């Protein structure tokens, strides 16, 4: 029971945190579906990562940049693109996707659905990493889950920026590129540094959008 709770609760708590930061909450149904889609993309992510890992191994194993190439494409590249697709094909099509904070909330929710599902593999197979499930659960709760959430938020904000500020198509892909780079650097071993930088960025990003929501709420309330 404790192992199960340690596996699922970090993502659920973080989703609740990000949802409650929104002054104009999204429909629960949309949040649940987005979270479930995040869980489901672990399936193509697993196949995609295995396929790329084999290709990279067969073609670049003796290349001096093998580790860099493998770390970039296996994990970061595949997983962030799949999060991007959830936002592109589902979240931004919702009628409730109607103000900038929405991209951040949906992006975090999709990413945390993925992080929770991924947790079952890592926590359940902790012995394969030479450690205990408790150590893996703590690490993923305080580092990996926030990293995934932040990457999803960067992707979500890029959609928000495109829809509500500047219709330059490049902005949609800017968030994806930033997310891939952060994920890549994290997987390369800079765990604490990446999460600290992401938290700082998110603090200012959410503070700015919350202020804009406060102004918008006053206008709507008359």
pLDDT at 173: 95
Q: What is the pLDDT of residues 77-129, one digit of tens each?
A: 999 999 999 999 999 999 999 999 999 999 999 999 999 999 999 998 888 88
d(CA 181, CA 175): 10
Q: Confirm if 112 and 15 have CB atoms less than 8 A apart.
A: yes
Q: Confirm if 104 and 19 have CB atoms less than 8 A apart.
A: no
Q: What is the pLDDT of residues 22-71, one digit of tens each?
A: 989 999 999 999 999 999 999 999 999 999 999 999 999 999 999 999 99
Q: What is the pLDDT of residues 204-218, one digit of tens each?
A: 999 999 988 888 777
Q: What is the pLDDT of residues 133-173, one digit of tens each?
A: 999 999 999 999 999 999 999 999 999 999 999 889 999 99
């Amino acid at each position: 029971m404790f192992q199960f709770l340690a596996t699922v609760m970090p993502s659920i708590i973080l989703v609740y945190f990000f949802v409650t930061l929104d002054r104009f909450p999204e429909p629960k149904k949309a949040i649940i579906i987005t979270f479930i889609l995040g869980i489901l993309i672990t399936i193509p992510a697993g196949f995609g990562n295995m396929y790329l890992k084999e290709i990279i191994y067969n073609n670049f194993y003796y290349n001096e940049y093998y580790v860099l190439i493998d770390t970039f494409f296996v994990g970061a590249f595949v997983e962030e693109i799949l999060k991007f697709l959830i936002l592109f094909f589902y979240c931004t099509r919702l009628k409730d996707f109607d103000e900038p904070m929405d991209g951040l909330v949906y992006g975090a929710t999709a990413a945390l659905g993925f992080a929770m599902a991924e947790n079952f593999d890592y926590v359940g197979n902790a012995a394969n990493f030479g450690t205990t499930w408790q150590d893996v659960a703590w690490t993923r709760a305080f580092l990996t889950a926030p990293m995934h959430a932040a990457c999803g938020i960067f992707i979500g904000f890029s959609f928000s920026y495109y829809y509500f500020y500047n219709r330059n198509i490049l902005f949609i892909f800017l968030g994806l590129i930033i997310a891939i780079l952060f994920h890549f650097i994290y997987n390369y071993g800079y765990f604490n540094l990446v999460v600290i930088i992401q938290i700082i960025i998110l603090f200012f990003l959410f503070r700015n959008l919350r202020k804009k929501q406060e102004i918008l709420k006053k206008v709507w309330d008359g």
